[in-house]
Chains A and B, each alone.
Chain A
Amino acid sequence: MTEELQEITLTVNGRRHVLAVQPRRLLVDVLRDDLGLPGTHIGCEHGVCGTCTVLLDDASVRACITLAVQADGRSVRTVEGLADGMRLHPLQEEFWDKQGLQCGYCTPGMLMRAVEILEQVPDPTPDQVREGIASNLCRCTGYQYIVEAVLAAAPRMRSENPWDPTVPTEAKA
């Protein structure tokens, strides 16, 4: 079959891209292969594990069961967008500090899901975090250190004025 290419516009981590893609291309593959953003991982490829989780218009989705054409005209946030230059995002620092990762395979998805949880519930209880990250699988940490990292990041995200791609770096200093 001759698949016509579809022109799509994705705003990824604040940067606008116009691309021509086959309709069959998955968002995760377009992010990794076409845009050179391999931070978003691929695991199960059927929506179960969560390592491919990105934020689409600020809501978490599985990039492995989202067609790139479904994201046309929308904004995508990936793990690459979390750090501000050399300054890690509070969640990244707390994952590091509390050992919220071991092999790191689940981490990009876990971080993006944690961003959504804290944007929706800025001051969560441990149970809310536990319930919230139940959407993402981790085979290494036993989850406890991830929960601790998210809880430690919460007050920092409330007070530190989280990274915002629309604010130029100078304006934040």
Chain B
Amino acid sequence: MKPPPFRYSSPTTVADAVALLAEHAADDARVLAGGQSLVPLMNFRLAQPGHVIDLRRVAGLDTIRLAGGELVIGAMVRQATAERSPEVALAAPLLAEALGHVAHPPIRNSGTVVGSIAHADPAAELPAVALAMDAELTAVGPGGERRITAADFFQGPFTTALGADEILTEVRFRSFPGGHAFVEFSRTHGNFAVVAVAVLVALADGRITRSAIAASGLGGTPLRLTAAEQAWEGSTAGSAAIDAAVDAGTAGLDPAGDLHAGSATRIDIARSCLREALERATERALDRR
């Protein structure tokens, strides 16, 4: 089908975009980034915004920069641009690896990093990366600017802490010196994940000093697997530590089944993705030294 009628604005400043969002709130105004989720939803008429505010021309949203220990990605940076960016490869190799699993190149040429996080699909890759990296989102609304941590941002399937009158201008990823791995299982190449696991690990003298583990596909939001982190931190890197983390990380999970995979199957898949990710991240942490 085709999108239902709507009015369209293409502001050039964040302030104008925020003002337009407030002005047209009664029309269910929506922000448009790459359109790779919003336009299909409009084609299906699952979304029927009365006013669409395109961020494409808003100045300053298309840059990737390093600020202190943080990688800052503007709201209009396309997934394909981030995937090829040397700054991303250096400061957030976990994000670079995950981007390769997001849809196919023609979608990534339009879709944005921030748009994927804003959309908060429970099967999407980047929300899990944001959670593992303790990312922060910068939101601007009528009351000014605020930062939202990834841990607070994801509230349910397609539901976030962003106010209806707010726009995300950037996402900030804190770099994590150590090893990383992103492992996913999907039905077909380029599809959303059935289960995806993001792992960061730092070692000192062969011991796991710090880690961050998050997963998609195991609940309505991405989950931080803190039990897995606690289970292996302090241990000597190796298969015993990995076994402990896999058991702890998947104990008590009760993901909803769907037509792609039942609950028990999802846990089996999570176990094998988690194991592979922990192994690969550990190897990379060892290689780094």
A60-B109, A69-B54, A70-B54 known; A24-B6 Cβ under 8 A: yes
A45-B1, A65-B40 known; A53-B6 Cβ under 8 A: no
Closest residue on chain A to residue B3 by CB atoms: A24
- Residue A113, interface by CB 8 Å: yes
A46–B40 contact, CB under 8 A?
yes
B5–A22 contact, CB under 8 A?
yes
B190–A65 contact, CB under 8 A?
no
Give A4 to B104 CA distance when docked, in angstroms: 34
- Residue A144, interface by CB 8 Å: no
B3–A26 contact, CB under 8 A?
yes
- Residue A1, interface by CB 8 Å: yes
Contact with B along A53-70 (1 / 0, CB 8 A): 100100111101111011
A24-B3, A24-B4, A45-B1 known; A70-B35 Cβ under 8 A: yes
Residues of B within 8 A of A46 (CB): 40, 43-44
Contact pick for A65, options B6, B7, B43, CB 8 Å: B43
- Residue B230, interface by CB 8 Å: no
- For window 89-117 of B, CB contacts with A under 8 Å fall at 104-107, 109-110
**Smallest CB–CB gap between A100 and chain B, Å?**
19
A70–B56 contact, CB under 8 A?
yes
Prevailing SS type, chain B contact patch: loop
Contact pick for A60, options B40, B54, B105, B190, CB 8 Å: B105
B104–A65 contact, CB under 8 A?
no
- Residue A38, interface by CB 8 Å: no
**Smallest CB–CB gap between B203 and chain A, Å?**
32
A46-B40, A64-B43 known; A135-B7 Cβ under 8 A: no
- Residue A23, interface by CB 8 Å: yes
Q: Using a Cβ–Cβ cut-off of 8 Å, how many residues does chain B contribute to the interface with A?
A: 30
Interface magnitude class on chain A: 20 to 34
B80–A67 contact, CB under 8 A?
no
A135–B109 contact, CB under 8 A?
no
Residues of A within 8 A of B44 (CB): 46
A67–B35 contact, CB under 8 A?
yes
A46-B44, A65-B35, A65-B36 known; A135-B106 Cβ under 8 A: yes
A46-B44, A65-B40, A65-B43 known; A1-B35 Cβ under 8 A: no
B39–A66 contact, CB under 8 A?
yes
A23-B7, A69-B10 known; A135-B40 Cβ under 8 A: no
* Interface, chain A (partner B; CB < 8 A): 1, 3-4, 6, 22-26, 29, 45-47, 50, 53, 56, 59-62, 64-67, 69-70, 72, 113, 116, 131-132, 134-135
